[in-house]
Amino acid sequence: MIDKQRINQKIVIIENNISKLKILSKKTEDEFFSDFRNIESAKHLLQVSIECMIDICEHRDF
């Protein structure tokens, strides 16, 4: 059986992360790369989003 609430929670996390990445994408290339926190934030947001996607794909409620 599929736990729709759990899947929806993962989707919300992904959507929130995309919103944050869009904010980062508005920076110029020089602005983005001049602060290591931008790079690390983007990497973290992407990693968490990918983990959520994997969780959704592997989701099974036994």
Other Cβ atoms closer than 10 A to 11? 13
Does an H or E element contain 53, and which? helix 36-58
Pick from 20, 6, 19: nearest CA to 52:
6
Query: Percent of the chain scored above 90 by pLDDT?
Result: 87
**pTM, rounded to two decimals:** 0.89
- pLDDT single digits (tens) 23-51: 999 999 999 999 999 999 999 999 999 99
